[in-house]
């Protein structure tokens, strides 16, 4: 069915473009030739999608960029996004054998170099298998959904991807700051999925069990890539004046007003909080991050923390927000309390405890909260079993409802949520769906 093109977005008009320039041909060749092409390479084991890193780098060194990109995209269909947003310092580059005594290979930048080469030229790397006659619905076009849709389409299944928002791409489009990934890159991968024959229906939302049952009647299997919810409430007076960190990042990507003023306080110390603070700083605001524990307990990656410091973001550790101050609807400050660390809590981190009579005010005209995201509330509405608030799944990522699979942040009850883990979930679920559907056809 013919659908209208997605609405255009206006790129931000401030200093907020990709922080790393693409490699030149010479830079890529020099870097690729530094690789030792290890047997049983540690970098491959460290990559959740198990890209054959030595092979794709060797192909770059010989000038075979199409072959290099194919090696990457066979394992990770969102190789362009992951080249930009993966915590490579913690994964492949962190495992590089050259890292101990030398500089590790710039695997992420080399991956971007190869994938961008083919995607900028519109080269289609894959052809779907002959049609199986089976249909699969994928709900959510974030990394998990796109990955599952691509793998299922390559296997010959007819895939319909349902996205509740105006643009596809999920977190890659709306929630990753432009410094790491511009909107155009995320939309390019949506187009690559469409090129495999996947029908993408935007502004199509699944909201209840009746809707899921309708999908199960129409399709042979359903994959849910629901992501997580909004930033949770903090529970302090004046909270109605607080800006949602994810909403601020989205506005910065879509060219809409962010609500950021001249002095900004950001509550939280995870990677999203770092991103929100970076947005504020790049827009010229004096930016302070407020965290109730210390630097040692931050959930943000070390390199993200150092990046924020380099950007000029300041940090108030052992500081607990207690009230947002406002006059005539305008924020004037964030009242805080000093903390000390006590015994460990359920997370294993030292519990912050208040210091009596230690209240003080941080002057600011905007407060942003980025303290995580709520669990996938839709799971209960769909009648799915949950574990710790996340959707419970089997090893093949099948949920408690037969024929319904799930992946991405909505199932991440253990381990860290990330784009690359969501991509791998999409691959695992697609394989599980393919095996189950083949068995069903054989039984019939």
As averages over each run of 10 residues, the pLDDT of the chain (444 residues) reads 41 62 96 95 97 98 98 98 95 92 94 97 94 97 98 98 97 94 95 97 97 98 94 94 96 94 96 96 96 94 94 97 97 98 88 96 97 91 95 97 97 81 97 95 83
- Strands 319-327 and 330-344, sheet pairing: antiparallel
How much is the pLDDT for 414? Answer: 65
- Strands 243-244 and 366-369, sheet pairing: parallel
Q: Residue 219, SS3?
A: coil
d(CA 437, CA 220): 8
Note the Cα 268 to chain centre separation in Å. 18
Give the helix ranges, DSSP H, for 90-137. 92-95, 107-119
How much is the pLDDT for 347? Answer: 78
Contact between 257 and 14 (Cβ < 8 Å): no
Say what the pTM is: 0.93
Give the helix ranges, DSSP H, for 219-270. 245-254
Question: Tokens 């923390």 correspond to what residue?
Answer: 305
d(CA 89, CA 307): 13
How much is the pLDDT for 417? Answer: 79
Note the Cα 26 to chain centre separation in Å. 31
How much is the pLDDT for 9? Answer: 46
How much is the pLDDT for 2? Answer: 36
d(CA 22, CA 341): 43
How much is the pLDDT for 265? Answer: 98
Residue 45: in which H helix or E strand, if any? helix 42-46
């Amino acid at each position: 069915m013919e659908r209208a093109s997605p609405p255009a977005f206006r790129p931000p008009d401030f200093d907020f473009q990709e922080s790393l320039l693409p490699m030149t041909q010479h830079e890529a060749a020099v870097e690729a030739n530094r690789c030792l092409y290890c047997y049983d390479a540690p970098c491959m084991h460290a990559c959740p999608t198990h890209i054959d890193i030595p092979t794709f780098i060797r192909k770059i060194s010989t000038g075979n960029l199409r072959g290099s990109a194919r090696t990457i995209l066979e394992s990770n269909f969102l190789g362009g996004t992951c080249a930009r947003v993966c915590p490579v310092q913690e994964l492949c580059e962190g495992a590089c054998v050259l890292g101990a005594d030398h500089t590790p290979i710039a695997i992420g930048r080399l991956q971007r170099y190869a994938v961008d080469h083919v995607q900028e030229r519109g080269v289609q790397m894959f052809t779907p298998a002959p049609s199986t006659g089976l249909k699969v619905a994928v709900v959510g076009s974030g990394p998990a959904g796109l990955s599952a849709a691509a793998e299922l389409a390559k296997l010959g299944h007819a895939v319909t991807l349902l996205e509740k928002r105006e643009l596809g791409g999920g977190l890659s489009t709306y929630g990753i700051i432009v410094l790491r990934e511009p909107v155009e890159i995320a939309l390019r991968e949506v187009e690559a999925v469409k090129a495999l024959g996947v029908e993408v229906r935007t502004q199509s939302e699944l909201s209840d069990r009746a809707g899921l049952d309708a999908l199960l009647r129409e399709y042979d299997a359903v994959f849910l890539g629901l992501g997580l919810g909004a930033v949770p409430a903090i529970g302090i007076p004046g909270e109605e004046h607080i800006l949602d960190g994810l909403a601020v990042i989205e506005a910065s990507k879509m060219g809409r007003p962010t609500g950021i003023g001249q002095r900004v306080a950001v509550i939280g110390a995870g990677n999203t909080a770092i991103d929100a603070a970076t947005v504020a700083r790049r827009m010229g605001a004096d930016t302070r991050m407020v965290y109730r524990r210390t630097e040692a307990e931050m959930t943000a990656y070390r390199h993200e923390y150092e990046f924020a410091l380099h950007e000029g973001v300041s940090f108030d550790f052992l500081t607990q927000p207690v009230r947002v101050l406002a006059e005539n609807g305008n924020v004037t400050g964030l009242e805080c309390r000093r903390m000390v660390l006590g015994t460990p809590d359920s997370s294993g981190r030292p519990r912050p405890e208040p210091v009596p009579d230690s209240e003080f005010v941080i002057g600011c005209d905007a407060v942003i909260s980025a303290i995580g995201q709520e669990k996938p509330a839709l799971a209960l509405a769909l009648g799915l079993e949950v574990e710790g608030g996340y959707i419970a799944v089997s090893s093949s990522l099948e949920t408690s409802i037969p024929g319904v699979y799930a992946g991405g942040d909505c199932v991440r009850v253990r381990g860290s949520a990330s784009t690359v883990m969501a991509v791998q979930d999409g691959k695992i679920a697609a394989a599980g769906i393919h095996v189950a559907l083949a068995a069903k056809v054989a039984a019939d």
